[in-house]
Structure 1
């Protein structure tokens, strides 16, 4: 079996082995995965952190040895907690995004295989609250399958946000709804609880984070703050309810 690591800021994961196929997820710098299948110019992978499967271009595949994979799998890598940080490799700078991992990080250096990277400045040690971290993403455009500050979907937003808190969430909203402790009503909710929303068939299709008993931050069109009541999300911009509230969970 082969193992890989993301050595680019963002790598798209596709539903099928084709550049024209739907992007269903993304890998961020430093995330690791197993290779489970290969087809010509494509490889099918399974992400270590949430078990998600999909196809990436072989041109974006970076192999790591089993020893390093096992080490990274069993040790928590440092997480980027700023919108962007700059890495320098062979005197060439490039940026990676919030939520990325820094493998084998030590004294402002990190390593991927034989490649050494230096941070252009020390990592901030911030004590941002969960809400302050969430607000870093405000106005990030919605992107189906996205997990970055350049474009993000509702469940990707929650997954990255809680990673910044040292917590691991599954990838999709319906999976996240199975986590945590059920809160019986909106009036008993608190800032940081996750609110889930369904469609007319009862399927969980959306998630956001409650920031007050009557407000929610979520990715819908862009990351924004909307009103929330027991019926669901009310968008003041369009003066309509956009999502039907079904469940509240405390992670």
Structure 2
């Protein structure tokens, strides 16, 4: 073999080894952790209505980047631990909510008679649920004129910033410890003065809460979360703590509260006396009987005790909830 042929052969062998080595050491070009992301989601956040876990793996320049957000620190840590156990290399860009940009004010109080909570940060988005005046909310982040919030029943959605007042932990604690009144009729008003003909401060609906600051004749003096003052008739509102202590959630009271909704219009996403959908109606009725039900029918079906699954309805009592659908096959 000539010197040229031997040299060429050695070069070819060397080039092959170099290419093989580079291919073996090159970073991955496809996602590696998708199954782990899904496992953690199923464990911690199977229902996106009540938990935020939007995580994805993106491969950049051959390396994995985890991006997205969650309001569950435990889920975030579990995912990191699972990936670490595989000795995988990645960049963690997952945002854990609440957004630090909120500062200390990571809670809010509803400041309108009813706050509309939507599926997206837009007034044209689907109405997901509602929250009543004085309801405390968790705040996760802001997007323009909307905030992503969570109601006491766990439901998550976007609310117009004009409908809430953000507070810090100390302010929220003070509000919860302050004397409050609950409004009972289907609809009414808070007045500027302690008189029925006085100018209106705002409308009120059943279940709304206001801080009680005093009395004037037959009126409670009240304060809104944004500091506005007003008066509510004692014939329409009662002390909140006394009301809670005196609730007797029996069949008669459930029927009475349900009948108060006669004529209230149907509203997809509604949970107030301004408008209700099917599960919003049952939720509102039980709320005024001291019971907080989950928001949707598919969630409410898991609450309480099964009374009858045969369809004969023989054991039903007033206040039982009926669910309709097709049997799973």
* Same fold, judged at TM 0.5 (above): yes
| Superposed counterparts of 1:14-33, under 5 Å | 14-33=118-137
SS state of the match for residue 128, structure 2?
strand
RMSD of aligned alpha carbons: 2.8
Q: 1:155 to 1:106 in 2, by over 3 A?
A: farther
Alignment match, 1:99: 207
Cα deviations across residues 104-140 of structure 1 (Å, max 9, x unaligned)? Answer: 5764133234333310443367997221211110122
Q: Distance in 1 between matches of 2:178 and 2:293?
A: 17
User: Could you list the per-position Cα deviations for residues 53-105 of structure 1 after superposition, in whole angstroms to 9, with x for gaps in the alignment?
Assistant: 10112233312342232355689964322112321247641321112223457
1:196 aligns with 2:323: yes
- Rounded to whole Å, the distance in 1 between the matches of 2:177 and 2:155 is 18
Counterparts in 2 of 1:112 and 1:190: CA distance versus 1, 3 Å: same
Aligned residues: 200
Return the match for 1:81 from 177, 184, 206: 184
The answer on 1:34 being equivalent to 2:138 is yes
Q: Which moved more, 1:19-28 or 1:116-125?
A: 116-125
| Distance in 2 between residues matched to 1:201 and 1:106, nearest whole Å | 56
1:146 maps to 270
Partner of 2:229: 116
TM-score w.r.t. length of structure 2: 0.54
- 126-135 or 151-160, which moves further after superposition? 126-135
Residue matched to 2:8:
none
2:178–2:211: 8 Å Cα contact kept in structure 1? Answer: no
Quick check: 60-69 or 175-184, which moved more?
A: 60-69
Written as runs of structure 1 = structure 2, the 5 A alignment for 1:3-18 is 3-18=107-122
Structure 1 residues 115 and 67, CA gap change in structure 2 (3 angstroms): farther
CA contact (8 A) 1:146 1:153 kept: yes
Partner secondary structure for residue 190 of structure 2: strand
- CA distance in structure 1 between the aligned counterparts of 2:314 and 2:210, rounded to whole angstroms: 39
The structure carrying a bigger helix percent of its residues is 2
For residues 123-168 of structure 1, the C-alpha deviation after alignment (integer angstroms, 9 at most, x for no partner) is: 3679972212111101221111011222111111111101111111
Gap runs ≥5 in structure 1 = 203-251
Unmatched 5+ stretches in structure 2: 1-104
Quote the Cα distance in structure 2 between the aligned partners of 1:137 and 1:159.
12
- Greater alpha carbon shift after TM alignment, 28-37 vs 62-71: 62-71
Relative to structure 1, is the Cα distance of residues 5 and 124 closer, same or farther in structure 2, using a 3 angstrom cutoff? closer
TM-score after normalising by structure 1: 0.70
Bigger radius of gyration among the two? 2
Cα 1:148–1:109 change in 2 (3 A) is same
- Which structure has more relative contact order (CA 8 Å, sep 6+)? It is 1
CA distance in 2, matches of 1:167, 1:72: 21
The answer as to whether partners of 2:264 and 2:274 remain within 8 angstroms in 1 is yes
Q: Is contact 1:103-1:110 (8 Å) kept?
A: yes
Distance in 1 of aligned mates of 2:255 and 2:213: 27
